[in-house]
């Protein structure tokens, strides 16, 4: 992803990302509590919210958690979070065919995740995540990508930085 190989479009998007990072002091603050995110139970121990700009998975150790479990039970059985896709508010002007999102150093983690409150009546789990990202990544989805081949020039980018993440969300757990 060397600069000399960048297309004009990729170079312009990277410049926008670098400017956004500078403006925001290399910090991504996301308060997603205004809208509750629906998390579907995809197997005994995993809940996933999969939307256009958000894909988050919560993993638990115990498959016996229910909608009536206590906050302490959720805390003691929490295993990991995976932040696969997150919006970057204020990063405007990126062409719509591009998917741009921050990348964590590990695909899933538990450090820095606080389960703050759970209401069994609404099944909403309030979560606060403090983590680090190592890059902002972007790609243009390919209709028929070649297996084991590099993506075509001008269809991917990465801007590496140490980025602090501070994310708050309300997860509606659908059992």
Confidence of residue 147 (pLDDT cuts 50, 70, 90): confident
Query: pLDDT, tens digit, for every residue of 106-145?
Result: 999 999 999 999 999 999 999 999 999 999 999 998 888 7
User: How far is Cα 23 from Cα 91, in angstroms, rounded to an integer?
Assistant: 11
What mean pLDDT comes out for the span 55-66? 96
| pLDDT band at residue 4 under the 50/70/90 scheme | low
**For range 71-92, the mean pLDDT:** 97
Which residues pair with residue 41 across a beta bridge? 47
For residue 126, give the nearest of 75, 54, 87 by alpha carbon. 75
Q: Residue 127 half-sphere exposure, CB side, CA atoms within 13 Å?
A: 30
Residue entry with tokens 């998390």 = 39
Query: What is the gyration radius of the CA atoms in the chain, in angstroms?
Result: 18
Alpha-carbon torsion (95, 10, 164, 82), positive or negative: positive
What's the pTM value of the predicted model, to 2 decimals? 0.93
């Amino acid at each position: 992803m060397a600069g000399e190989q960048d297309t004009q479009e990729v170079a312009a998007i990277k410049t926008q990302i670098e400017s956004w990072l500078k403006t925001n002091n290399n910090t991504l603050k996301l308060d997603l509590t205004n809208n509750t995110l629906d998390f579907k139970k995809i197997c005994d121990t995993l809940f996933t919210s999969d939307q256009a700009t958000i894909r988050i998975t919560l993993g638990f150790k115990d498959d016996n958690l229910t909608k009536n479990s206590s906050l302490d039970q959720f805390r003691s059985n929490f295993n990991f979070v995976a932040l696969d896709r997150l919006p970057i508010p204020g990063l405007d002007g990126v062409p719509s065919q591009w998917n741009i999102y921050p990348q964590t150093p590990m695909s899933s983690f538990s450090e820095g995740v606080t389960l703050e409150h759970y209401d069994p009546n609404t099944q909403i789990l309030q979560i606060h995540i403090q983590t680090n990202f190592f890059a902002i990544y972007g790609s243009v989805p390919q209709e028929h990508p070649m297996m084991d081949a590099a993506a075509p020039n001008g269809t991917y980018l990465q801007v590496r930085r140490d980025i602090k993440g501070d994310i708050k969300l309300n997860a509606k757990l659908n059992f």
